Amino acid sequence: MSGAGRGPRPWRGGAEPSESSPEPPSPSSSRPPPSDTSPSPSEETTPPPHGPAHGRGGAATHPAPPEAGLACDRNLALFEEELATRPRVPALLRRIAPYSALSPDSDDGHAPRRLLGTLRGVAVPSLQTLLGLVLVLRLPWVVGTGGVLQATAIGLLLGACAVLTAVSLSAIATNGLDPGGCPLGLLSGALGPEAGGAVGLCAFLSAAFAAAAAALGAAEILLVYVAPQAAVLPGRGRGARLNNGRGYGAGLLGLLGLGAAAPPAARAAPLGPAGLLLALLGLQAGALRAALPGGPPHALCLPAQPGGRLQPCPTARPHGAGDNGTQGVRPAFPGPSARLLAQNLWPRPPEPGLGEGPGGAEDDDNDSSFGVLLGLSLPTASGVLWGCSRSGELRDIARSVPAGSLGAAVATALGYLSAALLLGASVEGQLLRDKFGGSLRGTPVAGAASWPSPWVPLAGALLSAAGAGLQALLGGSRLLRGLARTRALPLPHALGRGRLWPLVATAAVAELGVLLGSLDLLAPVLSVFWLTSYLGVNLACALQGLLPTPGWSPRCRLYHWAQSEWGEGLRGLSLSAARFALLRLEDGQPPAPSWRPQLLVLLKLDEELRVRQPQLLALAAQLQAGKGLTVVGSVIPGDLPQDQPRARAAERALREGLAGAGARGFVQVLVAPARGPGLAALVQGCGLGALRPNAVLMGWPHGWRRRHDPTAARRFVELLRVAGAGGRALLVAKGPLGAGAPGGTLDVWWVVGDGRLLTLLPLLLRQHPAWRGCRVRLFTVALLEDNSVRLRRLLEAVARRRGLPAQTHVVELHDSDVSAYTYERTLMMEQRSQMLRQMRQAQRGPAPSQAPSAGEEEEEEEEGGAPRRGPSPGNVRRMHAAERLNEAVGRCSGGPAGAAGPAPRPPGPRPLDNYLEFLEVLTEGLGPVLLVRGGDGDPPGP
């Protein structure tokens, strides 16, 4: 509900400002509507009605005096100490829900973006590869030298590499947040800064050398087939060819750099896919025309000696009537046939005279081993990572990246295989091994086999080179800019700002590749960088799948790594690995996506050393699901070394309890003179280095009211304070949570705090088979000044981003008067607390040097020092808030399998007995409840 039309409410007590407080603007969201920013309604104090008031039991009670000193809304008074440092859920949702996937790494960060679909946003960048260039310049030589079998094996390897990497990239893109701008942001966000930086560096080098390969390939087309007379740079033989390649390649690389610096609208043309389509269609049309009856006669025949020029056939013979033997002449392009395919099936060594390069120079790089052929072909599958190059501008990244990347990978593999099979079945092997088409008088073999003109595949190769070069320069500059901004490498700060300097640096690195002067020399180096970057992506995804964390939950259906348990190794090796891992963990806190609760379970043992609350062990096993750190601790009152045998027996009992619950972990039993200080020492000192629990799981002290020990409640609250002060998260289970098959629903109540731990617990529980079929519902509280409709939309956005499959609900808590029953219940609670204090003083004697706590002073005296005749206003508003929240939870969460909600901050500077009373009222009449409070070790952010 909005608070329009009512006066502003002053916010006091250090709590977080209301919705009208200014917030930093988000790039993807506009200002909130007026109903959301209207002033909060003023707080009016309404006295209770005169006359007898009836409580819940129907008994008449005394009239309630007016409230005084209200520091926050009455409905959240139970959390008023919490609100001083932790925000309310509406304000927090308004900060983290508006999220723009367009990061500063995007080229269009300051322009209004147009959301892209799968075809233009993913498939086109993925197909901006060198496949069209390699298909025209080198694939005929690969098929003729290595044979159809090796070419097919290379095509299958390329397809497998591209498809596997596309699946891994799809898993990364569908995991958690939608990072935008460049592949580095996506990789670092899902795999961590180390893996993202390493893969990003290899991908940057491969992108720079891919731009160099595009420039060298285009220079070869110009110097060999288009304008051979332009090869005027000095040199002899192979040196002249390399010099001309370096000179013209540098010039073409400069043109590509100018094209990459152009506005985005001018370089958005799909040049690479268009060039590949031209080359493939021309080749297929030529094969089809030669295979049809009544096709053209075989105009050219092979020369008698290898290396000679193709001559016109002496007689024009009908189609298909060519001489199939070794006698007479053989047509160079007889058309598709099984005979020719079988003849070109096996590898053949290159014949002398077939390697004549530009200017009549003999090519001495005719090594035809499988590794060389594979190195020449691998750059054709270099476009998988570019599928996420525009991830920040995609309409639906979770759907577009898998479909576009996998489709482009499959299309690349099919294009390579189809072209290799067509060439092997349509062209004589002697002509295929003519690398530069010297016997065709300056026409490429793929061009002579195409229809309607040899210029069709040449134009396609040039378009493919232009598209691949532009995409490589743009992608490399984005990667370099991301590396400079994340400080993954000691790079100049200028590379992290703007688009010009990263583009210039990428072109300068590409120039190093151009200096090689030949596509044959550069392709193996480029292949190594591409394979290294692909290996990094696949290996990182494999490790994330084998060692799953809550932050790794890809939604891609094709991605799956089998769960495995690592076996035992040599003990010395295990200790060395453990020491290395512990020292590695000391470097810093884990990133937010990989944070998960590492549990310290505090248990009590009876006189016979049996576990009193075995359901806590079952809950710990369900939370960890066989992963993570679990330490089960207990304290035995006594002295060492007399009670050492009992401690060993207690350790055995705890291990048996762990095994019975199906959990794996460690056991620690502490012998101390008193249980309270022993538990505090266990919470503070448990663990080794950074391998220590960050969350404490304990049971609820059900008998604290019935015990004759007046310090039991205070010991429990003191333990909560110690755990919170040590940065540990708190999980307090009340009821049989974790016992048996839950079923039903799991309700999460997000009232204050960032909610990271609250929303993480259902994800962890649903990994266990016992909770897998449990539905999750996420609730939050809307007060009078909150817009419930907008708050629910924000809650849905945050739940979707955190990967929580939950139904979202907003419960409205309107302002209401404090009932007389609440005043009477608060008065009875204070009388009980006073009696407990008197019992404690009688046990330990007077202690004049110890000052009473702030809460005790508030209960005993008024502001002027006179004795108080009624309940404390602070306790009254806390009791009222606990009753209202309990009523809301009971109304909306009837009969769930379990409910999780925030635990208020334990009071200070000394614990009060009233804290447990408030929690009892908060959870009264509910089913199993898990009270949750995040510690200082909680992950920040959304």
Alpha-carbon gap, residue 138 to 521, rounded angstroms: 13
CA atoms within 13 A on the CB side of 61: 22
For 631-684, the DSSP string reads EEEEEEES-TTTTHHHHHHHHHHHHHHHHHTT---EEEEEEESSHHHHHHHHHH
Alpha-carbon gap, residue 876 to 865, rounded angstroms: 20
SS3 per residue for 509-578: HHHHHHCCCCHHHHHHHHHHHHHHHHHHHHHHHHHHHHCCCCCCCCCCCCCCCCCCCCCCCCHHHHHHHH
DSSP 908: S
Q: pLDDT value at position 272?
A: 87
* Burial zone of 853 (CB within 10 Å; 0-12 exposed, 13-18 middle, 19+ buried): middle
Alpha-carbon gap, residue 480 to 416, rounded angstroms: 31
To the nearest 10°, report the CA torsion of 417, 421, 422, 424: 140
Q: pLDDT value at position 560?
A: 65
Least Cα distance to 162 among 374, 528, 409 occurs for 409
Residue ranges of the chain whose pLDDT lies below 50: 1-71, 101-105, 108-111, 178-181, 316-327, 563-570, 847-865, 937, 939-942
To the nearest 10°, report the CA torsion of 862, 866, 868, 873: -10
Contact 438, 446 (CB under 8 A): no
Sign (positive/negative) of CA torsion 421, 426, 430, 434? negative
Could you tell me where the beta strands, DSSP code E, fall in 155-264? none
Please provide the distance, in angstroms rounded to a whole number, between the alpha carbons at the two ends of the chain.
Answer: 25
Contact 206, 530 (CB under 8 A): yes
Q: pLDDT value at position 596?
A: 82
Q: Helices then strands (H, E): number in the chain? A: 29, 14
CA 192 to chain centre: 9
- Residue 724 CB coordination number (10 Å): 21
Alpha-carbon gap, residue 34 to 266, rounded angstroms: 41
Q: pLDDT value at position 5?
A: 39
Q: pLDDT value at position 396?
A: 82
Q: pLDDT value at position 365?
A: 56
Close Cβ partners of 39 (under 8 Å, ≥ 6 residues apart)? 3, 6, 7, 8, 9, 18, 20
Contact 616, 658 (CB under 8 A): no
Sign (positive/negative) of CA torsion 115, 119, 122, 124? negative
Alpha-carbon gap, residue 336 to 288, rounded angstroms: 8
Look up residue 639 and give its two tokens.
Answer: 């002295």
Least Cα distance to 40 among 9, 13, 17 occurs for 9
Q: pLDDT value at position 315?
A: 53
Look up residue 797 and give its two tokens.
Answer: 């956005």
pTM of the model: 0.65
Close Cβ partners of 212 (under 8 Å, ≥ 6 residues apart)? 249, 253, 510, 511, 512, 513, 514, 516, 522
Alpha-carbon gap, residue 778 to 783, rounded angstroms: 17
Alpha-carbon gap, residue 60 to 63, rounded angstroms: 9
Residue 175 vs residues 70, 397, 796, 802: alpha-carbon distances, Å:
44, 10, 17, 10
Q: pLDDT value at position 849?
A: 41
For 247-306, the DSSP string reads HHHHHHHHHHHHHHTS-GGGG-S-HHHHHHHHHHHHHHHHHHHHHSTT-----EE--SST
Contact 660, 739 (CB under 8 A): no
Alpha-carbon gap, residue 683 to 681, rounded angstroms: 5
DSSP 117: -
